[in-house]
Amino acid sequence: MMVNVAQRVATERVQPIMDRHPINQPLSKQAMLEIYAVLAELGITAPRLPIEAGGGGLRMLDYGMMIEQLPPVVALSLISHEGTIARIHHGCSPDIRDRYLPDLIAGRKIACTANTEAGAGSDSGAVRTKLRMDGENAFITGSKMWITNASVCDVVNVSCTIGTDANGRSMVRRVLVDRSEVEFEVRETPVMGLQQGHLSELVFDETRVPASHIIGEVGDAAKTLTLAWNGNRPLLGLMCVHLAQKAFDLALAHAKEHRQFGKPIGAHQLVQQDLADIETHIVTARLLCYSALDAIDRGARANGTSAMAKRYATQACERAIHLAMQVHGGMGISQEMGLEQMWRDARMFQVPDGMNGILALIQGRELTGIGAFR
Ligand SMILES: Cc1cc2nc3c(=O)[nH]c(=O)nc-3n(C[C@H](O)[C@H](O)[C@H](O)COP(=O)(O)OP(=O)(O)OC[C@H]3O[C@@H](n4cnc5c(N)ncnc54)[C@H](O)[C@@H]3O)c2cc1C
């Protein structure tokens, strides 16, 4: 029932908002707020929070099956938003929670998390953005890049360093920055896919925030990010599954209708093999992602399983869309069919929350007990 509702809401209420805007430009803040109001009604703006805290209290598997139904641009924005809500809920004082969570859960405000920097991507703990404490205030200086939602957000959870420990590693702290209170620079970054979404660079220059906006404890940023990533990775895999399934549906219909050599191309054996391969890629990707989410629901840390699911799903779905384009011949590369956009969108997911090389290393570390990162 939840999947059916999510599918109907996505088709009848979310997609029409997106269709009113250019397909290759970031959606306006107004459009995003309209979409968030719908997501709030669906009960998935805070799926990982308990019901008593105003959240959805959903199992990760149920949430993942709903995420799979949403347009990927919206789904990616949502996991940035709701992941930040979860961090505020778990790491902030009751005052801060009461001040921000109701509007964020109702979709009246949008949140995001900024960790990545030029030298702190895969090496997420190496952040250099500085946090300087001064009594009741804290000051942020540094820059972030590739931040989902940043240009349309109201609050951003920024990872900063307060110095290095005895081993030379950054001591990372997270700070909630409220855009209605302080100015900082935000520049949208044009990219190949998910072009109605928002990816930006942020620049902080002695940006003043109240010390009460610091989230959690010293050193817990990496741990919190890891826990979020384990859940997010299969969700990102399912966003690719959504795209590959759409491509497959088009390819199957095309194979039955389009004719060459006097019969439908679907009656030629090699085209049937392409269709069989596409379906196999999609079904295996979907099941691996479901299995990782189910493992998390059963209390497993699921480090290796989540990494395996995202790496496999992003690659298999990219291949599936490529094959669906092949089945379409010339039409496969036309903008009219939308397959080239699905392929560009799917390619985007090989980067966030662990590049595929890094995900292989995570799985390898789980298998061998030996880290091969440094
Ligand atoms: C759509 C999208 C949304 C995003 N959203 C956010 C967001 O909301 N918040 C945020 O903070 N960030 C976000 N990011 C940033 C993303 O998390 C980083 O881009 C990603 O972690 C990779 O970092 P990088 O770009 O610096 O690449 P690098 O880490 O420099 O990687 C470059 C290459 O080197 C390889 N590599 C690196 N280290 C090793 C190693 N030890 N061994 C072997 N190979 C290695 C990688 O696998 C990769 O192939 C987003 C990115 C995208 C594309």
Q: Report if residue 374 sits inside a domain.
A: no
Residue 318's CATH number: 1.20.140.10
Q: Please tell me the residue having the least CA distance from ligand 1 atom 24.
A: 121
Residue 9's CATH number: 1.10.540.10
Q: Around Cβ 67, how many Cβ atoms within 10 Å? A: 28
Tell me the CA–centroid distance for residue 352 and ligand 1, in Å.
6
Q: Do 263 and 26 touch, CB atoms closer than 8 A?
A: no
Q: What is the tens place of the pLDDT at every residue in 73-116?
A: 999 999 999 999 999 999 999 999 999 999 999 999 999 999 99
Q: Report if residue 262 sits inside a domain.
A: yes
Rounded to two decimals, the pTM is: 0.97
Query: Residues lining ligand 1, judged by CB closer than 6 Å?
Result: 80, 112-116, 121-122, 146-148, 199, 348, 351-353, 355, 357-358, 361, 373
Domain boundary among 53, 76, 105: 105
Q: Report if residue 202 sits inside a domain.
A: yes
Whether residue 250 is found in the same domain as residue 213: no
Whether residue 259 is found in the same domain as residue 363: yes
What percentage of the chain exceeds 70 in pLDDT?
A: 98
What pLDDT, on a 0 to 100 scale, did the predictor assign at position 229? 78
Q: Please tell me the residue having the least CA distance from ligand 1 atom 25.
A: 121
Whether residue 149 is found in the same domain as residue 236: no
For ligand 1, pick from 355, 359, 373 the residue to mutate: most ligand atoms within 8 Å of CB.
355
For residue 149, give the ligand 1 atom closest to its CA. 8
Whether residue 98 is found in the same domain as residue 191: no
For ligand 1, pick from 351, 361, 373 the residue to mutate: most ligand atoms within 8 Å of CB.
351
What's the structural domain count of the chain? 3
Whether residue 199 is found in the same domain as residue 121: yes
Whether residue 185 is found in the same domain as residue 157: yes
Residue 79 lies in domain: 2-105
For residue 114, give the ligand 1 atom closest to its CA. 11
Q: Please tell me the residue having the least CA distance from ligand 1 atom 35.
A: 357
Does residue 226 have a pLDDT over 70?
A: no
CA pseudo-torsion sign 367, 239, 198, 60: negative
Q: Report if residue 373 sits inside a domain.
A: no
Residue 179's CATH number: 2.40.110.10
Whether residue 359 is found in the same domain as residue 235: yes
Q: What is the tens place of the pLDDT at every residue in 244-296?
A: 999 999 999 999 999 999 999 999 999 999 999 999 999 999 999 999 999 99
What pLDDT, on a 0 to 100 scale, did the predictor assign at position 218? 72
Q: Report if residue 45 sits inside a domain.
A: yes
Tell me the CA–centroid distance for residue 124 and ligand 1, in Å.
9
Q: Report if residue 308 sits inside a domain.
A: yes
**Residue 204: beta bridge partners?**
142
For residue 115, give the ligand 1 atom closest to its CA. 11
The tokens for 307 are 């990494």
Residues sharing a CB contact under 8 Å with residue 292, sequence separation 6 or more, in sequence order: 233, 234, 237, 302, 305, 306, 308, 309
Whether residue 117 is found in the same domain as residue 31: no
